[in-house]
Amino acid sequence: MTPETYSELLKDLQKREKTLVPAYLATLRADAGLQERLQARFEAAEIGGRFDDFAAMCCRRSAVQFLLRTVYVRVLEDLGALDPPRIRGEWGLAAFREVAPALGVREFFRWTFRDLARDLPALFNAAPEELPLPSEDLCRETWDLWHRLDGD
């Protein structure tokens, strides 16, 4: 990876994080069940402070974890450790859609991360306070980011 490509990727991932965090906060505010689950984690952790601060931190971590998992998948692909590729090119998503045509990129990411968690749980298993993957549209934008960067 050239320094220019690295710089562009870093900037794009930072922009994606800034888009994802408010979306996670909105999702959390709209879902009473998710709020209750996170509130229970907050109380069990006995960390003090305000729940809103804890919730915002969880939203930031969830956004970063989602983006890092896509980075990990791409690194594994680039190293030749992940064959067939999942994110590089269109093959992975196309094969997934043959099996599950009604599901989108969000479910493909969920399946990919769950599949890789069997061999790499520390990288791909969700933490208890982690929020679900972002919306289909936000997942599609992340997918498009990777394909714009490498031309696949």
pLDDT at 149: 63
Contact 41, 148 (CB under 8 A): no
pLDDT at 152: 41
CA distances from 44 to 39, 47, 59, 60, 107 (A): 9, 8, 18, 20, 30
Q: What is the residue-level pLDDT of the chain in tens, covering all 152 positions?
A: 688 888 888 899 999 999 999 999 999 999 999 999 999 999 998 888 999 999 999 999 999 999 999 999 999 999 999 988 999 988 899 999 999 999 999 999 999 999 999 999 999 999 988 999 999 999 999 999 998 866 54
Alpha helices in 31-135, H assignment, sequence order: 32-45, 51-78, 91-99, 105-117, 121-124
| Both structure tokens of 45 | 């952790």
| Both structure tokens of 70 | 């896509």
pLDDT at 147: 87
pLDDT at 60: 96
Q: What is the pTM of this model?
A: 0.91
Give me the sign of the Cα torsion angle 1, 117, 83, 132.
negative
